[in-house]
């Protein structure tokens, strides 16, 4: 007998869509999306460029379109946290992103951290970042495919299916293994040519139903980010992805 899975809202990644931000917000609203993921490197969304007043204006702009922020992306190259010439800038970027995420509703910051054993510099860096995260009540969603990490209530896990497929992993299994630490799940796929692609495209490798079931069993209840980076015709692909996602709500 078929039964319905919990409804999980989708949050398209604004920075992965073509066009001007406010027009894209209008489009998302007309498509009945209620959440949006922001990117810290997107023009007009960079944390260093937005003071608290500008962030309040951004929230007001989203509210007028009945949109809420799901989270904030910040893709600093992981090695920048380990090198003397780049570590200060990397830490500074994360700190201002944490502040912005706090101002936008204490949403998670998605990033990729390095994983090294016995590196005193990075241990200090991580402790500093977690102090900042604790002060603002913001979770760090680490999207590294090697997801073993120290225990801390705000050092959490983010899952990008395309990245795990590229690394030879099973996204549904990763969700199950890290259910208690998962705060940022994405919806993305990898085709047989090794390219990122939309859900439902020919050659896609993600078992969407298994992934959704895993999220349900894990108790995940946050928006799922539609990550359209590198997708062909992203707007149409986002619409198709939403339709495929809706079709997976019933399982046997």
Query: Mean pLDDT in each 10-residue stretch from start to end of the chain (252 residues)?
Result: 68 95 96 96 93 96 97 96 94 98 98 82 90 97 77 91 94 94 95 91 92 95 95 94 87 57
- Closest residue by Cα to residue 176 from 217, 209, 147, 208: 217
Q: Structural domain boundaries of the chain? A: 3-251
Q: Which CATH class is domain 3-251?
A: alpha beta
Q: What is the pLDDT of residues 189-240, one digit of tens each?
A: 999 999 999 998 888 999 999 999 999 999 999 999 999 999 989 999 999 9
Tokens of 16: 């992965």
- Which tokens in the block code for residue 52? 């608290």
Beta strand segments in the chain, E:
3-4, 10-12, 35-39, 68-73, 109-111, 140-142, 155-159, 182-187, 189-190, 196-197, 224-226, 250-251
pTM above 0.75, yes or no: yes
pLDDT of residue 1: 43
* Pairing outcome for strands 196-197 and 189-190: antiparallel
């Amino acid at each position: 007998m078929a039964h319905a899975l919990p409804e999980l809202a989708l949050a398209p990644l604004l920075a992965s869509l073509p066009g001007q931000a406010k027009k894209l917000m209008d489009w998302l609203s007309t498509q009945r999306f209620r959440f949006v993921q922001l990117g810290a490197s997107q023009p007009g969304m960079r944390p260093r460029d937005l003071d608290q007043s500008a962030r309040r204006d951004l929230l007001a702009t989203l509210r007028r379109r009945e949109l809420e922020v799901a989270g904030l992306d910040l893709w600093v190259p992981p090695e920048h946290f380990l090198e003397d010439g780049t570590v200060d800038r990397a830490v500074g970027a994360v700190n201002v992103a944490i502040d912005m995420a706090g101002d936008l509703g204490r949403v998670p910051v998605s990033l990729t951290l390095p994983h090294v054993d016995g590196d005193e510099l990075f241990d200090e860096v991580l402790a500093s970042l977690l102090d900042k995260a604790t002060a603002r009540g913001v979770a760090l969603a680490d999207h590294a495919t090697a997801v073993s990490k120290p225990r801390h209530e705000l050092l959490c896990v983010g899952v990008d299916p395309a990245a795990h497929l590229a690394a030879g992993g099973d996204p549904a299994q990763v969700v199950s293994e890290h259910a208690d630490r998962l705060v940022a799940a994405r919806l993305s796929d990898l085709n047989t040519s090794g390219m990122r692609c939309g859900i439902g495209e020919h050659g896609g490798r993600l078992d969407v139903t298994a992934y959704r079931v895993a999220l349900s069993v894990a108790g995940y209840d946050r928006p799922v980010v539609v990550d359209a980076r590198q997708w062909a015709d992203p707007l149409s692909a986002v619409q198709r992805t939403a339709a495929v996602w809706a079709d997976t709500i019933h399982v046997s």
